[in-house]
Amino acid sequence: MAFITTLHWNLEDYGPTKWGDANNHQFVQYIATVVNHVNADIFTMVEVKNSIAPNLIHSLAAEINTLQGIIAPNPWRGVALHSGKNNEAYIVMYRTDRKFLPYSLTYAPGAYVIPEFGLCDRRVNGTQIKFPSPDTPAGGRKPFYVIFQTTDTNKIFSVLSYHAMYGSKTQLGLHYLPHCKCVTQLDAVTPIVASLLAGDFNVDFNDNHADYTSIIALPSHAATNEDTSLKNHPISSNNPLTFRANAYDNIFQKVPAAGGIANPGQVIDLMVESSLVLVPQPPPPAAQPRTGYLSAVAGSFNVADIPNQAQLVNPLVNLPPNDMDTAWAFVRNAISNHYPVVVTTTI
C-alpha cells in the first residue's frame, strides 16, 4: 500500500509583487520549510500567478532538497496550468521517489513521464459541466487534475485542486465536483480507484460544524473541520484560534472500498509555528514555552519590506513574533490569509 501525504495551500495572490520584493527568497524558504516538516509527497497550490509558476516549481524544489540534504537526483516534478481566471495558475508538485509515479495513457508510469493532467469540466458520459462564476451558473474556474499510479498495487488515483469562485453560486460548483470524470474515470476503460480533492472551496462549511460531504455530496472523508482562513480585523487575543475566520480549505479523500484508509488531517497554524510564544495549556492560566518550527525563517524576513504595514495599528518591529497579535500581523501580511491543510491517505 502507498501512504500519500498531500499538502494543500492557498498562497494568496503570489505573483510578481511577492516574487520581486526583498523577501521573496525568505518566502520560498518558508513554504519549503512547511513542505519539509510534513514530509509531503504531493503539494497542491492555488492563487499563484501564471508568470511565476514555472520558476516557483524549480526554486521551491531546490529549497526543499537543501533542507532534506538531497543533492541529486532531484525527486521533485511539477505541472502547472492557467486556471482560466484572475491570471492564476494551478500547481501540483510531486515526488518521484515514493510509492507512486505519474501516470499517462500513452506511456508506462515513470519518474520522467508527464502525467495526464488538465482542467476537468466533463462528466463520465462526456457531457460538459459549467462551473459557476461568482454570480452566474457558468464561466468560473474548473478543477485541475493530475493522475498517478501506485508502484506496489498499481492503483490509479487522481489529485484534484479546485479554487472555487466566491459568490452566490459557489455551492453549485461544489455539487458538480463528484461528477467530474477525473474523480472516478480517466477514460471509458480506465477507472480511477481513489481521488484526493484539495482546494479553497470558498464556502464556510463550519458555520454549524456540519460535515463537508453534506454539501459536496462526494463519497469521501474530509481531512478536517477546522477554520483555515484568517480574520482581516481580529480582536487582540492570546488564543490563536480566535484569529481564524472560515473553514474554506480542505482535502477530501475518496479511497478504494477495500484497502484504502482516509485518515484525519490537520491545519497548520502558521501563527503559532512562526512564533516564539507562550502557548496556553488547559487548564488556564498554566502555560509553557514553545518555539515554532517556522520561527527561524520568520525571523529572517526584512520587516521593512513586509507589505501593508501602514494598515497595522502596531506595525511590525521585530521578528520572529513573540505574541499572537504580532504573529497575525506577520502571517496575514507576509505569508497568506489561508492556512495549509495536510493529510496522509492510504491507497
pLDDT in tens, the chain (347 residues): 899 999 999 999 999 877 677 899 999 999 999 999 999 999 999 999 999 999 999 999 999 999 999 999 999 999 999 998 989 999 999 999 999 999 999 998 999 999 999 999 999 889 999 999 998 999 999 999 999 999 999 999 999 999 999 888 888 888 889 889 999 999 989 999 999 999 999 988 765 545 555 556 666 788 998 999 999 999 999 899 999 999 999 999 999 988 899 999 999 999 999 999 765 555 555 555 678 999 999 999 999 888 877 667 777 888 999 999 999 999 999 999 999 999 999 99
Query: What angle is formed at CA 86 by the lines to CA 85 and CA 89, rounded to 5 degrees?
Result: 70
User: Cell for 346?
Assistant: 492510504
User: Is 123 in contact with 129 (CB distance < 8 Å)?
Assistant: yes
User: Is 299 in contact with 29 (CB distance < 8 Å)?
Assistant: no
Query: What angle is formed at CA 330 by the lines to CA 327 and CA 333, rounded to 5 degrees?
Result: 140
What CA dihedral angle connects 120, 85, 137 and 337, to 10 degrees? 100
Collapsed DSSP state (helix, strand, coil) of residue 342: strand
Pairing, β 221-222 against β 249-254 = antiparallel
pLDDT at 255: 92
Q: What is the CATH number of the domain that holds 49?
A: 3.60.10.10
pLDDT at 317: 87
Q: Is 118 exposed, middle or buried (0-12, 13-18, 19+ CB in 10 A)?
A: middle
Nearest to residue 103, comparing CAs of 30, 195, 179, 25? 195
pLDDT at 174: 87
* Eight-class DSSP state of 334: I
- Return the bridge partners of 346, or none: 3, 261
pLDDT at 106: 94
In which element (H, E) is residue 38 found?
A: helix 24-38
pTM, rounded to two decimals: 0.93
Pairing, β 156-163 against β 185-187 = unpaired
User: Is 37 in contact with 293 (CB distance < 8 Å)?
Assistant: yes
Collapsed DSSP state (helix, strand, coil) of residue 85: coil
Q: Which domain holds residue 308?
A: 3-346
| Residues 6+ away with beta carbon under 8 Å from 113 | 101, 102, 103, 104, 107
CA distances for 320 relative to 91, 109, 276, 331, angstroms? 29, 44, 7, 11
What CA dihedral angle connects 252, 220, 344 and 195, to 10 degrees? -80
- Return the bridge partners of 149, or none: 101, 156
- Which residue is listed with cell 529549497? 63
CA distance 207 to 145: 29
CA distance 250 to 193: 20
| Domains: count for the chain | 1
CA distance 143 to 78: 17
User: Is 219 in contact with 254 (CB distance < 8 Å)?
Assistant: yes
Bond into 73 cis (ω within 30)? yes
Amino acid (1-letter code) at residue 173: G
In which element (H, E) is residue 252 found?
A: strand 249-254
